[in-house]
Amino acid sequence: MTREPVELAAAAPAKVNLVLRVGPRRADGYHQVATLLVPLDLGDEVRVRVSPGRRGAVRCRVPGRPDLDGPGNLAARAAEAFQLRFGVRDRIAIRIAKRIPVTAGLGGGSSDAAAVLRCLARAYRIRDREALAAVALAIGSDVPFFLGRGAAWAEGRGERLTPVRVPALHLLLAYPGDARLAIRAGEAYGWLDELRGRRATSRAHAASIGFRGASGHVRHRGRHRGAKGTARLVRELAARLHNDLEAPCLDRRPPLEELRRAVVGAGALSAIMSGSGPTVFGVFASRGAAERAATVLRGAGGPGLEVHVARTRQRLPGVAPWRSPRSASSRWTRRSSRPT
């Protein structure tokens, strides 16, 4: 590595769970999951500056969000874990341009952490994917996905990834900013356990296998050639959206069910909560339909409601040298590069 400071940048996309099946709680306190994750074109921008030969604590800043500054940010924890695992002592500074809603079920913090790992792996030429994956899993269950290639089924805690091909989907994301509707992941999983306990049932993790078998067309896009075939596949996927966490969360947060119905009423083919929520997303037949629905919801939504129109992407973005936005050569956010 050069002794000059190195500054790298990476896009950190949001994600949605098209499917989330949750098994029983494991002995280690986590749940077995089978989830179909897809990245979006909505995302944060992460910059990492490494100063070789200079010592100091990891610094993390999120302009406009001082509550996210400092060592508690998952991005800072990722940098510290990288230093520990690979024996790095150089000073690391992180700057995040935040666009993904926080604690929203969209994976923003995990994506930022993975972006930092990508940048540091590039800076120090680390090619040990297994070691990087272990660091990622230690930070959070969604981080391995963002360190992967792109759309995938994630199993176990989320570390066992099977790439899939998913057609481009036009989504509307509705995030209620009301703090009273916030949901922590631990709460969502705990509510699911309580609900299953009341019903005296334990839905087996194997139930997810039935969905995967039924949705095998996700892996074989060639069967659906042409606009009509793609439209049919999008409708089929929309009909199969599922989230085991949704029922207990909507039971505890009734306004989220009203929001879900509003998204469907605005023209979505289907709508569900993403991950542990509280964001609700709907699948639309076209971007135009999603934009029109966004206009309706923004006009009718209450205070704090954030509405975003996004498109799924097949692959996760790569890492590039950072360039000042004033530079005519600064095009990394518009250029695809090979993931680290």
Q: What is the CATH number of the domain that holds 214?
A: 3.30.70.890
Total domains in the chain come to: 2
Whole-number pLDDT of residue 49: 96
| pLDDT value of residue 203 | 45
Please tell me whether residues 304 and 160 are part of one structural domain.
no
Give the pLDDT score at 225.
57
Pair 252, 181 in one domain = yes
* Strands 242-243 vs 6-25: parallel, antiparallel or unpaired: parallel
Are both 46 and 181 inside the same structural domain? no
Kindly state whether residues 146 and 57 are assigned to the same domain.
Answer: yes
Annotated active-site positions, please? 15, 142
23-37, 188-202, 285-299: range with lowest mean pLDDT: 188-202
The pLDDT of 237-252, averaged and rounded, is: 96
- Over residues 53-99, the pLDDT tens digits come to 888 899 999 999 999 999 999 999 999 999 999 999 999 999 999 99
Residue 118 and residue 54 share a domain: yes
106 pLDDT above the threshold of 50: yes
Query: What's the whole-model pTM score?
Result: 0.87
Task: Identify the pLDDT of residue 227.
Answer: 67
Residue 211, SS3 per DSSP: helix
Q: Does residue 129 share a domain with residue 114?
A: yes
- Regarding whether 208 and 82 lie in a shared domain, the answer is no
The Cα 135–Cα 144 span in angstroms is: 9
Q: Are residues 211 and 303 in the same domain?
A: yes
201: Cβ contacts below 8 Å, ≥ 6 apart: none
Tell whether 229 and 185 lie within a shared domain.
yes
C-alpha to C-alpha distance for 217 and 237, rounded to whole angstroms = 9
User: pLDDT band at residue 304, thresholds of 50, 70 and 90?
Assistant: confident
CB atoms within 10 A of CB 311: 13
Question: How far, in Å, CA of 72 to CA of 101, rounded?
Answer: 17
Asked if residue 243 belongs to a domain, the reply is yes
**Bridge partner residues of 312 (DSSP):** 40
Query: 19 and 141: one domain?
Result: yes
CB 243 within 8 A of CB 272: yes
Question: Is residue 323 situated within a structural domain?
Answer: no
Which of 15-24, 48-57, 133-142 comes out lowest in average pLDDT? 48-57
Percentage of the chain exceeding pLDDT 70: 86
Token match 């289907």: residue? 270
Assess if residue 316 is contained within a domain: no
Contact (Cβ atoms closer than 8 angstroms) between residue 14 and residue 107: yes
178 and 148 part of one domain: no
Q: Of 267 and 203, which is predicted with more confidence? A: 267
Q: What is the CATH number of the domain that holds 58?
A: 3.30.230.10
- The answer, yes or no, to whether residue 201 has pLDDT greater than 60, is no
- Residue 185 belongs to domain spanning: 170-311
Domain boundary among the residues 125, 146, 164 is at 164
pLDDT band at 338 (very low <50, low <70, confident <90, very high): very low
Distances, alpha carbon 178 to alpha carbons 131, 135, 156, 265, in Å: 39, 33, 32, 22
Same domain, 147 and 180: no
Residue where a domain stops, chosen among 164, 190, 207: 164
Closest-CA residue to 38 (of 281, 209, 246, 288): 281
Rounded-to-integer distance, Cα 306 and Cα 173, Å: 8
